[in-house]
Amino acid sequence: MSHRGPDGSGICTGAGHGLAHVRLAIVGLSDGAQPMQTADGRLTVAFNGEIFNYVELRDELKARGAVFRTHSDTEVILHLYREMGEDCLTRLNGDFAFALWDADRQRMLLARDRMGVRPLFYTEHRGVLYFASEVKAFLAIPGFDAALDPTALDQIFTLWAPIPPRTAFRNVFELEPGSLMICDRQGRRSRSWWQLDFPDAGQGPPAVDEAEKAEELLALMEDATRMRLRADVQVGACLSGGLDSAITASLAAEMMPGRLETFSLGFDSAEYDESAYQAVMAEALGTRHHAILCRNSDIAESFPEVVRLTEKPVIRTAPAPMLKLYGLVRQAGIKVVLTGEGADEVFAGYDIFKEAKVRAFCARQPGSRTRPHLFRRLYPYLPGLQKQTAGYLSAAFGVGIGSPDDPLFSHRLRLRNTAGAKLFFSDDLRAQLGGYDAAEDMAAHLPPRFARWHPLHRAQYLESRFLLPGYILSSQGDRMAMGCGVEGRFPFLDHRLVEWAAALPPGLKLRGLEEKHILRKAMAPRLPAAVATRVKQPYRAPDSKALLAAPELVRATLDPGALARDGLFNPTAVGKLVAKCAANASPGFRDDTAVVGVLSTQLWLDTFTRNDRTAARAA
């Protein structure tokens, strides 16, 4: 666990409880050691993350008589909890996961931030509740046996991530984003303390002045960024080459003129590389820019470490280049970076939102020969799709069109295509799963008010509630960054901005097929035209091609004997899959998904369930 906190460690135990902490020192460098206690010793907290509004909260608390002993944001949690109990969470603007022991009430409070930026896992073993930022901490529990949860594997092979609180580990759970848990003599109980919400579609869009909304957005973004620059160490910024990181970096550059360092990642394959746009942006901002090239071999070589850090199988290699990028950040001596994460969920930037709109549009005239061509416009970066005829585009994207009331309509195509990789599940695994349907399970987790929302808002909720915390912020975010001792900060996920954007009429987010309309209106004039007007290219990385660049890794991990022993996948089918991908210049979505998913699952088993788990526990 020391990768998450290389700057210090502490432990605090008492009757019936204990807290241990490793620290990445960012605020209150000299006096922020944890676990931290109140002066009377009645409250103790171990905290991962940042409370960005700690300055304002500290001033408020001081005005009401609180006496602070440190300069750390951690102490704000203690004082605020003393005043408000667990309701203090609603006052925190931050990315946090913490455990707070209340000696007077003899209870432990676990809490997690609204969007799920910081992780918090728990398990119960022989009558003891254990919790930690990463599951690998539990491997040190005597008698704890890690085992893969087959239902979680099915969810990953359909939804990209387990449905919380489930994790890849059997009997290990995560505290859901925006939730808290109280553990005392009566037992443990969890509840949600914040939920993403949207207006009822039936209300009709409110009359809004677009220019006024753009001004509001700019003010919110400026404040969200300003707060996220608070640190007693230098803060950098990532530049992906896209609009979102350009916005956060440009705001940061204005607020710390001449001092911002930026970081970016390039690929040796033109299909994935965005270096040209990154360079344009870095030059426009005048930052000290650091760039690193990621090759296929880098992805393959780091993949076992990536799986050790994600702690769950993944179906994309995209976390691996992020690990390289965050390694570059750390090498430059930077511990904190701003990124553009969250903008695509909050302002409807992803292709899946447009795709759902076009699918619904095509459904109105099923025989149309022209409407299906819109699908080509959605995916200009996918060469295989550009070659498709209108007839096939229409048929291929027609999934679920007959059921517009289907709550998962926007995601049906992705779910079906991803689940195609379950073809490689063994007969035994299929028998264990019975008729389990991960998509229907996800639908069962939707709130009753979901049905009242506009279709775009439903799609945004699905992305924000499931993929964002389960994969984007986790496998591709926190786990890769913290693996290098780097903290990512995300202005677009400031809860004030999230709530403000959720209340906007859908047309201010997705106007026609222009994504993030209001964001462009508010921010584009401040950016170079080449970046501001660029067609969105989602962050992607080479998948099976990259992994097959390490034939020894693939051969050893996907050895037919090992696959047969573990019993999750069909060894013959996997062998044929690998041979096909090795011979094919551009494998399809399903085959790529399967190679990455099967390989990462086998690596997960190797790392966490074999007898010698020393490597998994190691820093």
Partner 1 sequence: MTATIRNAVRTFMIENFLFGDAASMPANGESLLDSGLMDSTGVLELVAYLEDQFAITLADTDIVPANLDSVDRIAAFVELRARRAAA
Q: Enumerate binding residues for partner 1 (CB under 8 A).
A: 384-385, 387-389, 391-392, 395-396, 398, 416-417, 419-420, 423-424, 570, 572-574, 576-577, 580, 586-591
SS3 state of residue 2: coil
Q: How far is the CB of 599 from partner 1 (least distance, A)?
A: 15
Number of H helices, E strands in the chain: 28, 16
We find the least distance from the C-beta atom of residue 593 to partner 1, in angstroms, to be 10
Tell whether omega for the bond before 165 is within 30 degrees of 0, i.e. cis: yes
Quote the least distance from Cβ 534 to partner 1, whole Å: 24
Nearest approach in angstroms of CB 418 to partner 1 is 10
C-alpha separations of 35 from 5, 10, 46, 66, 417 in Å: 13, 6, 5, 19, 46
Beta carbon of residue 382, minimum distance to partner 1 (angstroms, whole number): 8
**Residue 383 CB, nearest distance to partner 1 (Å)?**
10
Give the whole-angstrom CA distance, residue 603 versus residue 550.
14
Sheet with 36-37: strands ordered across:
36-37, 43-51, 94-102, 107-112, 179-184, 187-192
Residue number, 269 or 417, with CB nearest to partner 1? 417
Q: Hey, how many other C-beta atoms are within 10 angstroms of the C-beta on 215?
A: 13
Return the number of the residue (377 or 576) whose C-beta is nearest partner 1: 576
We find the least distance from the C-beta atom of residue 457 to partner 1, in angstroms, to be 28
| Contacts of 610 by beta carbon, 8 Å cutoff, 6+ apart | none
The separation between the first and the last C-alpha atoms of the chain, rounded to the nearest angstrom, is 5
Sheet hosting strand 487-489, strand order edge to edge: 288-294, 261-267, 235-238, 336-338, 487-489
In the complex with partner 1, which residue's Cβ is closer, 49 or 400?
400
How many alpha carbons fall within 13 Å on the CB side of residue 489?
Answer: 28
Nearer to partner 1, 395 or 529 (CB): 395
Least separation in angstroms between CB 155 and partner 1: 18
Residue 278: CB partners within 8 Å, gap ≥ 6?
239, 240, 241, 264, 266, 289, 291
Nearer to partner 1 by C-beta: 105 or 369?
Answer: 369
Closest contact distance (angstroms) between CB of 416 and partner 1 is 6
Neighbours of 109 (CB within 10 A): 22
361/355 Cα distance (integer angstroms): 10
Nearer to partner 1, 346 or 548 (CB): 548
DSSP code per residue over 282-344: HHHHT-EEEEEEE-HHHHHHHHHHHHHHH-S--S-STHHHHHHHHHHHHHTT--EEE--TTHH
Closer to partner 1 by CB, 126 or 387: give it. Answer: 387
CB of residue 163 to partner 1, shortest distance in Å: 21
Q: Which is nearer to partner 1, 396 or 562 (CB)?
A: 396
- The least CB distance from residue 316 to partner 1, in Å, is 16
Each as own residue / partner, the long-range contacts of residues 252-256 (CB below 8 Å, 24 or more positions apart, any chain) are 252/225, 252/338, 253/285, 253/286, 253/287, 255/225, 255/226, 255/229, 256/229
CA Rg, the chain, in Å?
Answer: 24
Cα–chain center distance at 270: 25
Residue closer to partner 1 by CB (options 118, 412) is 412
Minimum distance from residue 493 beta carbon to partner 1 (Å): 32
| Alpha carbons 559 and 67: distance in angstroms, whole number | 62
Q: Which is nearer to partner 1, 103 or 382 (CB)?
A: 382
Which is nearer to partner 1, 201 or 385 (by Cβ)?
A: 385
Residue (247 or 598) nearer to partner 1, CB = 598
* 613 Cβ contact partners less than 8 Å away, ≥ 6 residues apart: 139, 146, 607
